[in-house]
Structure 1
Amino acid sequence: MEGIVHRSVQVNGIKMHVAEKGEGPVVLFLHGFPELWYSWRHQILALSSLGYRAVAPDLRGYGDTEAPTSASSYTVFHLVGDIVALIDTLGVDQVFLVAHDWGAIVGWYLCLFRPDRIKAYVCLSVPFMPRNPKMRPVDAMRALYGDDYYICRFQEPGHAEAGFAQRGFENVIKNMLTSRRPGPPILRAGGIGSQPNSTPLPSWLSQEDVTYYASKFEKSGFTGGLNYYRNLNLNWELTAPWTGVKIETPVKFITGELDVVYTSPNFEEYIDSGSFKQDVPNLEPVIVQKGVAHFNNQEAAEEINTHIYDFINKF
């Protein structure tokens, strides 16, 4: 982590922690749940060594960035507003965007609302999900997967937080980051606070990494990150004017063949059938990484670094 500079900037009414390294065109990295700027440690070092300025914030509610107490302060307009303000503080008009998981969802909305600020987008794990005007997303998920689907479980304030606290922060982080179970994540009654996982850590995740994540979540808690999920239906209401709008930004999409999103019903078909390409006309051929699960930016860091550089180097 040598040479990575940490600072705090004022964006959209909150203080945001940012890690950065390098000089040149800006590559902006947005993390997912339950992650931090630290998720991009390998990419920051690689891209900064290749002539880019790598910038990775802790998103609203995470790590050393402020966490507003109201759940309604975590809509996509707040999240996109934070990132547009961050880009302004960097003194540039446009950035290359790289994002994963919830960061990827924020990235799609960035491309939808402010395509003028994004040169090109490398998206990991979560494809563009066009708005269905007929059904709220959480209602659709409950109908498809049942009440035990993790996003449905996350809706009740305090419930998931209590389960995570019971399990312990290190165990929660370890279990989530190392899970290789395909398909939609299901949390049975009481499952959020289940017993620790004694499986040894994989080669790409050290105890030091787990300890770093846990130390930050012990201070911030999980509520900020969980509030993203609790605004899914509200986001659906707020984004009605963008129904049917296509993403025109150049996009490279990369997922693991064991990714919980890719292996959930309808996603693989949507990605592989050509529907994804119809909604994102400037989408390059999709990369599906063999034997790789959800956290591909960490599990297959070198391969991801190469894909990022090869794509953004075209522009």
Structure 2
Amino acid sequence: MPLDQKPVPTPPATPRPAETDWSVRSAGPWVHRDLAANGARFHIAEVGEGPLVLLVHGWPQYWWAWRHQLTALAEAGYRAVALDLRGMGGSDRTPRGYDPGNLALDITGVIRSLGERRAHLVGHATGGTLAWVAAVMRPSVIRSLTVVSAAHPRHLRRALLTDRRQIAALDHVLGFQRPWIPERQLVADDGALVAEYLNAWTGPSMLDQEALTAYRKAIQIPSTAHCSIEPYRWLLRSMARPDGIQFARRMKKPITAPTLHVQGAADPVLLAQTALGAGEYVEAPYRWRLMPGVGHFPHEEAPEEFTAELVNWVDQHKD
């Protein structure tokens, strides 16, 4: 949808965020750290001890999207780490480096910087796309894969070329292609458009006011609006370019990590039919989990159900 139009259906009016002491490094049972990887500085929130589970957020969020899973994974005996992607949250805003290959190397570089050889990798939306890519580019680093609300890159590319329903569902991405206008609209009125998108993209269990306020605040951190949509600009602009074609060919490589693929049946952004069938690229145990009545944010809309599924999966693939 164009950014100068409200998402449909029109969500309830969202109140302006209250003036609070909000910080991207919000207090909790976790510890905040900064790590160097792949030529940039990355912010993480970490809690627990045991095998590493690295959680990677989507748009327009930051590490805090995994607040429910961080504590649950720590209680289950894991070292749970939530990462802020390049250009978002508390991580560096670099002038370039937002193509999926480089962003995936950010993720695997963070795993190494954490002192680990391997990790269970969990990614949502953009983070889910990057999880697919990381599993192709650095298979030895990925112990298991959990992808949430994200199609395999080749399936997404095909849908963007042939599926009118999926193209319409991602029309906000079309709006992101314009220079500078999207950035201004995303930060206008204290990030009100972000709240409208979030409300429109959930199922019946909408995000609470605390979450909406946090994401509205996060998009207003200087340069975040610009950096956070650069991967979407690459996505469309590369379709016919040599780098995009080469990337699509590289994604034919089979994934060797056990993969849990979670999808909200009511997701209006990444349609279930687009996500379906990614198992053809996985030469390892693959589980498709469709969550009825859940929209684009399963880990926040149905945190208990999602977390139980996730913990069960990583428990099965510790070795």
TM-score tier, shorter chain, comes to 0.7 to 0.9
1:35 to 61, 67, 76: 61
Distance 2:285 2:106 in 1: 26
CA apart distance, 1:247: 1.8
Shift of 1:11: 1.3
Asked if the contact 2:169–2:269 (Cα under 8 Å) also holds between the matched residues in 1, the reply is no
Q: Is the 2:35–2:43 contact (alpha carbons within 8 Å) kept by the matching residues of 1?
A: yes
Given that residues 259 and 287 in structure 2 are in contact (C-alpha distance below 8 angstroms), is that contact kept between their aligned partners in structure 1?
A: no
The alpha-carbon distance between structure 1 residues 75 and 287, as it changes in their structure 2 partners (threshold 3 A), is: same
In structure 2, the residue matched to 1:278 is 280
2:274 is matched with 267
SS in 2 for 1:286: strand
Task: Give, in angstroms, the shift of residue 14 of structure 1.
Answer: 1.2
Output the CA distance in 1 between the equivalents of 2:129 and 2:167.
20
The one of 172, 190, 204 aligned to 1:168: 190
Distance in structure 2 (CA, Å) of the matches to 1:305 and 1:248: 23
Matched, 1:209 2:182: no
| Percent of matched pairs sharing the same residue | 29
1:258 and 2:261 are equivalent in the alignment: no
Query: Which stretch of the first structure deviates more once superposed, 106-115 or 220-229?
Result: 220-229
Distance 1:176 1:147 in 2: 12
Residues 177-202 of structure 1: CA deviation (Å, up to 9, x unaligned): 222479xxxxxxxxxxxxxxxxxxx8
State the AA in 1 paired with 2:88: Y
Amino acid at match of 1:97: L
Q: Structure 1's 204 and 24: CA in aligned 2 closer, same or farther, altered over 3 A?
A: farther
Aligned to 1:82: 106
Q: Deviations over 1:119-158 (max 9, x none)?
A: 11111111213279xx898666789737982222111221
- Paired position in structure 2 for 1:120: 144
Alignment of 1:31-110 (within 5 A): 31-70=57-96, 73-110=97-134
User: Which residue is 1:226 aligned to?
Assistant: 229
Larger mean Cα displacement after TM superposition, 233-242 or 87-96: 233-242
Q: Match of 2:93, SS?
A: coil
Contact 1:141 1:149 in 2 (8 A): no
Letter in 1 for 2:199: T
> What is residue 156 of structure 1 aligned with on the other side?
178
Q: 1:240 to 1:124 in 2, by over 3 A?
A: closer
Separation of aligned partners in 1, 2:28 and 2:70: 11
**Partners of 2:215 and 2:202 in 1: CA distance:** 22
- Contact kept, 8 Å, 2:154 with 2:248, in 1: the verdict is no
Q: Name the counterpart of 1:198.
A: none
**Letter paired with 1:298:** E
State the TM-score, normalizing by the size of structure 2.
0.81
Deviation at 1:312, TM superposition (A): 0.8
The letter of the residue matching 1:109 is V
Q: Deviations over 1:20-48 (max 9, x none)?
A: 10000000000000000000000001101
* Distance (Å, rounded) in 2 between the aligned partners of 1:41 and 1:208: 12
Q: Which amino acid aligns with 1:172?
A: L
Separation (CA, whole Å) in 2 of partners of 1:208 and 1:148: 26
Cα gap change, 1:131/1:209 in structure 2, threshold over 3 Å: closer, same or farther?
Answer: closer
Q: 2:306 is matched with which residue? A: 304
- In the alignment, the residues of structure 2 paired with residue 2 and residue 243 of structure 1 have an alpha-carbon distance, to the nearest angstrom, of 38
CA distance in 1, matches of 2:41, 2:83: 11
- Following superposition, the deviation at residue 277 of structure 1 comes to 2.3
One of 249, 256, 261 as aligned partner of 2:257? 249
Q: Deviations over 1:69-106 (max 9, x none)?
A: 24xx2112220121121111111110001110000000
The structure-2 alpha-carbon separation of the partners of 1:238 and 1:142, relative to structure 1 and needing over 3 Å to count, comes to farther
Does the CA-based 8 Å contact 1:34-1:173 persist in structure 2?
yes
Question: Which residue matches 1:189?
Answer: none
The separation in 2 between residues aligned to 1:288 and 1:147, in whole angstroms, is: 19
Residue 110 of structure 1 aligns with an amino acid whose one-letter code is A
RMSD, aligned CA: 2.7
Q: Is the contact made by 1:138 and 1:151 (CA closer than 8 Å) also made in structure 2?
A: no
So what's the TM-score if we normalise by structure 1? Answer: 0.82
SS in 2 for 1:307: helix
- 1: CA distance, partners of 2:101 / 2:91: 17
Which residue in the other structure is 1:15 paired with?
41
Q: Which residue of 2 aligns with 1:177?
A: 198
TM-fit CA distance, 1:240: 5.1
Residues in 2 aligned to 1:261 and 1:152: alpha-carbon distance in whole angstroms: 13
